[in-house]
Amino acid sequence: MGVYLNIDCNLIKEVVKAVENTNDDAVFVFDNSGFFIRVSDIYKYKVLEIKISSDDILEYECSKPVELGVVINRLKDITKTMRKGDFLIMKYEDDSDYLQLVSSGLKRSIKLIDLNHISRIPNLDLHYKYRAIIDHKTFNSFIKACGKALSFKIISKEKDLIMVCETDEGLIEVPWADTVKSLTDEDNYESDTTFALAEVAKAVSTSKGLVSVEGTQDKVVCFSWDLANKSKIRAMIAPKV
C-alpha cells in the first residue's frame, strides 16, 4: 500500500511553514509511529527536527517505513488554499515517484525528489548545561521589538533566563525570573552567548505555548515546543561568530 494520512489544516500548515523557513526541500520519514523531518539551512547554521505522532493525525496508515524527498513549495501550493476546518489527505503508493494530495476538492500529484540529491543531516548528539521554560508570547514580542538588529544575547544567570538586544533605539531586555534549571553538577550554571536575530526568528516562527530553551556557553541553543498533544518541534541554532 504505502502511506495514507488525513491531517488537520493547522497542523500541516505549521509543518510547512517551519520547513520552508529553513530549506526548500526535506526528507519526510514515515513509519508506524507517524512521520519525522530533520532539515537544515544550506550553511548548516540551524537544524530543525519535527516529529508528528500518528496519534495527532486523524487517519494514518503506513505499511512499512519509507523516506520521501519533498519540495516544500509543491506541498504549500495545496496547504496555502486550506482554511480552518479543512483537512489534507496524503497518499503514497509503494515505489511511486509521486505523492498524491487532496484537500477541499483540489487534487495534486507532486513529483518526489531523488533522495541522493538531498543533503542528509545526521542526528545531533548535543549535551546542554541549562534548561529554561519561557512563554512564546513574550519571546515573540522580544524578537519583533528587536527590529532590524543583527544579534541578541541569551544569558543564564543564577535562576533567571535573560534576553538582551542592542537596537538603534536603545537596549531591549526581557528576563524570565526563576526559570533556569541547571543540567550540571553546578547549582547555578551561567552563560552569555550571542545569536543571529534573523536566524532565530525564522527557526521559531511557529512557536506557541511554552517554549523550552536549552543551552551551553558559546554552543548551539535549542528551542522546543509542542505542535500537538504528542507532536513536537526542535529548532537548534549555532551561536553567532
pLDDT tens column, 107-164: 999 999 999 888 888 888 899 999 999 999 999 999 999 999 999 999 999 899 999 9
Tell me what pLDDT residue 1 has.
Answer: 75
Asked if residue 122 is part of any domain, the answer here is: no
Asked if residue 88 is part of any domain, the answer here is: yes
CA distance 60 to 79: 18
Q: What is the CA radius of gyration of the chain?
A: 19
138, 213: one domain: yes
Give the DSSP letter string of 202-226. HHTTT--SEEEEEE-TTS-EEEEEE
157, 208: one domain: yes
Which set of grid coordinates corresponds to residue 16? 510547512
Range of the domain at 141: 130-237
The ranges of the chain with pLDDT < 50 are none
CA distance 22 to 99: 22
CATH number of the domain bearing residue 111: 3.70.10.10
103, 202: one domain: no
Tell me what pLDDT residue 233 has.
Answer: 97
End position of a domain, from candidates 86, 117, 148: 117
The pTM of this model reads 0.94
CA distance 203 to 82: 23
Asked if residue 45 is part of any domain, the answer here is: yes
CB burial string 186-225: b at 16+ within 10 A, e below: eeebebebebbbebbebbbbbbeeebebbbbeebbbbbbb
Asked if residue 125 is part of any domain, the answer here is: no
Q: Where are the alpha helices (DSSP H) in the chain?
A: 9-20, 72-79, 136-145, 197-203
